[in-house]
Amino acid sequence: MVKIENIHKKFGKNEVLKGVDLEIPKNGIFAILGPNGSGKTTLIKSILGMVVPDKGKIFIDGKQTHANGLYRKNIDYLPQIANFPSNLGVKELIKMIQDLRGGSANSDHLIELFQLEPFLDKKLSNLSGGTKQKVNLVLTFMFDSQLVILDEPTTGLDPIALLHLKELLRKEKEKGKTVLVTSHIMSFVEEVSDEIVFILEGKIYFKGNLSQLREKTGEQDFERAIAHLLKKNHA
Amino acid sequence: MLKILKYSFFDLIRSRWSYVYLLFYLLLGFVLLFLNEDLSKAVITLMNVIIILVPLIGTIFGVMYYYDSKEFTELLLAQPVKRSSIFIGQYLGVSLSLVMSLVLGLGLPFVFYGLFESAAIWDFSLLLVTGSMLTFIFTALAFNIALYNENKIKGFSYAILMWLFLAVIYDGLFLMSLIVFETYPLDKFTLIATVFNPIDLSRILILLKLDIAALLGYTGAIFQKFFGTNVGLFLALGSLMIWILLPVLNIYRKAKKKDF
């Protein structure tokens, strides 16, 4: 589904990605993990074309990504921080994104699921962080693309919304979609993901499923296993 | 791109500042006409206001809009929209809404005052065209500055400095160099120096059309002597076009490479 070849990216003197090679097969939920500043978001933004890599190629469905960004039509993306134009209403924003992307979109059941009806006419600047994140989720999941990329989807969500999110992810997986997700909530990652990619200092440090991770680190507990990966490297 | 343009434009139309700008011009137009009682005299006064104020407003609005709509831009960048469409669309949205305020704000008072029966209609139209071009130029320059500066405060200061330089300092430097080098032939230098400042160009453009020799000043006089009134007009107009084109091209180029 997604193939990344030797991606390098520098921001000024700060080398964020140092030759990342990664292949993500079709169907399944893939978690990208790593400490703060390890390059997770940069990697995701490279796939989306929001960051222009210095070197390397990215293929989606066998086609190399193009600078014009039109391939993003087949990607649903949830940005890390829900920054929205503040003078728009929720309904207007949803309509605008639909208009910009074209194609079919179904937001009604998502609005119902996240109980956003009372906020539909409110301005986005007046919403709480969690509610903004729910709007963010609606904007992402209302399209039906084969590739879904979620950057920290759990931020600010209450437990009920978190349950709904997990449910949504399960359904997307059943539909045969590929989901890329980053998160710092280890229990969430453990619960939803099929495979884990661990990035450290701009390189892929580990790739495999949960049992492989346990085997490699010798830790049964997922959280400890990840901590083990981190410690071993920094020691 | 048209969709982005549409959203930016309506976003701005709804904002309070567009109305303040519009009201200011309405007021200015009415007051000038009330005081002058003469359309062509009002046009000259207006010119002096326009060539200083329009660039300032274009600069401030351009920078402000770019930084203010950062979130909107980031949202758009994740959509299947070309980068160039996003930035050029936003740029056109800002400049067109400013141009609309300018044309409506100055146009209405003059129309009420009987512009269409007056001989000043062409002078006035040219004034509006020049004002519009200055808006396009300075909004584009402001967008360029904002694109190169992540830091809001820095971007703002550079933009204001640019305006100050082109509107005030440039003339001072130019005059000083004329005095210092007065023993040399300065025609060509003057011509070139004028072309590099859109505000000077606009002044000369309008004054050539108004045909008031007394107001032309040294640069204007040289322009007229060198090219004659008509060729001079077209040349000034053409140079202003280039002043729009180059910054817009650079927005296009820079937007393609930038990381978000």
Percent of chain A that is helix, strand, coil (3-state, to 5): 40, 25, 35
Structure-derived torsion over alpha carbons of residues B260, B1, A65, A146, reported in degrees to the nearest 10: 100
pLDDT, tens digit (0-9, with 9 covering 90-100), for A172-200? 889 888 999 998 888 888 888 889 888 88
Count contacts between A and B (CB, < 8 Å): 63
CA–CA gap between residue A185 and residue A206 (Å, rounded): 18
Residue B73 has pLDDT above 90, yes or no: no
Q: Is B217 left (phi over 0), alpha (psi -120 to 50) or beta?
A: left
Residues A136 and A78: beta-carbon distance below 8 Å: yes
Distances (CA, A) of B203 to B48, B147, B176, B177, B243: 8, 29, 19, 20, 15
Mean pLDDT confidence for B18-44: 84
Residues A52 and B257: beta-carbon distance below 8 Å: yes
Residue A206 has pLDDT above 80, yes or no: yes
CA–CA gap between residue B1 and residue A170 (Å, rounded): 36
**Does ipTM surpass 0.85 in this model?**
no
pLDDT of residue A209: 84
pLDDT, tens digit (0-9, with 9 covering 90-100), for A20-33? 888 888 888 999 98
Residue among B80, B256, B259 minimizing CB distance to A72: B80
The reply to whether A106 falls in a domain is yes
Mean pLDDT confidence for A206-211: 84
Which residues, 6+ apart, have CB-to-CB distance to A219 below 8 Å?
Answer: A225, A228
Number of domains in chain A: 1
CA–CA gap between residue B139 and residue B193 (Å, rounded): 22
pLDDT, tens digit (0-9, with 9 covering 90-100), for A140-165? 889 888 889 998 888 888 999 999 99
Confidence bin at A208 (pLDDT 50/70/90): confident
Which residues, 6+ apart, have CB-to-CB distance to B41 below 8 Å?
Answer: none
Percent of chain A at pLDDT exceeding 70: 97
SS3 of residue A23 by DSSP: strand
pLDDT, tens digit (0-9, with 9 covering 90-100), for B123-152? 888 899 999 999 999 999 999 999 999 899
CA–CA gap between residue B234 and residue B241 (Å, rounded): 10
Chain B hits for A52, Cβ within 8 Å: 257-259
Greater model confidence, B81 or B246 = B246
SS3 of residue A152 by DSSP: coil
Which residues, 6+ apart, have CB-to-CB distance to A155 below 8 Å?
Answer: A80, A81, A129, A133
The reply to whether A65 falls in a domain is no
Greater model confidence, B256 or A82 = B256
The answer to whether the CB atoms of A79 and B78 lie below 8 A apart is yes
pLDDT of residue B143: 95
CA–CA gap between residue B226 and residue A25 (Å, rounded): 70
Nearest chain A CA: its distance from B162 CA (Å): 26
Q: Which domain does A217 fall in, by range? A: 25-37+75-193+203-234
Closest by CA position to A80, among listed A44, A29, A123, A109 = A44
Mean pLDDT confidence for A4-26: 86
Mean pLDDT confidence for A34-51: 85
pLDDT of residue A82: 66
Q: What is the CATH number of the domain that holds A113?
A: 3.40.50.300
pLDDT of residue A23: 86
pLDDT of residue B146: 95
Q: What is the mean pLDDT of chain B?
A: 87
Mean pLDDT confidence for A102-121: 87
pLDDT, tens digit (0-9, with 9 covering 90-100), for A117-145? 999 998 888 888 889 899 989 988 898 88
Mean pLDDT confidence for B52-67: 93
The reply to whether A127 falls in a domain is yes
Confidence bin at A233 (pLDDT 50/70/90): low
Residue A96 has pLDDT above 60, yes or no: yes
SS3 of residue A149 by DSSP: strand
Residue B118 has pLDDT above 80, yes or no: no
- Interface residues on B facing A, Cβ-Cβ cutoff 8 A: 3-4, 7, 11, 14-15, 69-72, 74-83, 256-260
Confidence bin at B250 (pLDDT 50/70/90): very high
Q: What is the mean pLDDT of chain A?
A: 85
Residue among A70, A86, A96 minimizing CB distance to B80: A70
Mean pLDDT confidence for A210-232: 80
Distances (CA, A) of B11 to A136, B75, B94, B140: 21, 15, 9, 19
pLDDT of residue B95: 93
Residue among B76, B82, B259 minimizing CB distance to A52: B259
Number of domains in chain B: 1
Residue B116 has pLDDT above 70, yes or no: yes
CB within 8 Å of chain B, chain A residues 77-116? 77, 79, 83-88, 96-97, 99-101
Chain B hits for A68, Cβ within 8 Å: 82-83
Minimum Cα–Cα distance from A84: chain B residue: B71
The answer to whether the CB atoms of A83 and B74 lie below 8 A apart is yes
pLDDT of residue B242: 95
The answer to whether the CB atoms of B7 and A87 lie below 8 A apart is no
> What is the total residue count of chain A?
235
Chain A hits for B77, Cβ within 8 Å: 48, 50, 69
Chain A hits for B82, Cβ within 8 Å: 68-70
Angle of helix B170-180 versus helix B198-210 axis, rounded to 10: 80
Residue A68 has pLDDT above 90, yes or no: no
For residue B211, count CB atoms less than 10 angstroms from its CB and return exposed for 0-12, middle for 13-18, buried for 19 or more.
Answer: exposed
Nearest chain A CA: its distance from B161 CA (Å): 26
**Range with the largest mean pLDDT of B49-53, B77-81, B211-215:** B49-53
Say if strands A75-78 and A147-151 run parallel, antiparallel, or are unpaired: parallel
Calculate ∠ Cα B199-B200-B201, nearest 5°. 90
Minimum Cα–Cα distance from A139: chain B residue: B75
Confidence bin at B241 (pLDDT 50/70/90): very high
CB of A174 within 8 Å of a chain B CB? The answer is no
Closest by CA position to B133, among listed B247, B241, B12, B18 = B241
The reply to whether A175 falls in a domain is yes
Q: Which domain does B243 fall in, by range? A: 2-257
Residue A234 has pLDDT above 60, yes or no: no
The answer to whether the CB atoms of B256 and A67 lie below 8 A apart is yes
Mean pLDDT confidence for B207-224: 76
Greater model confidence, B220 or B107 = B107
Strand partners, A14: A11
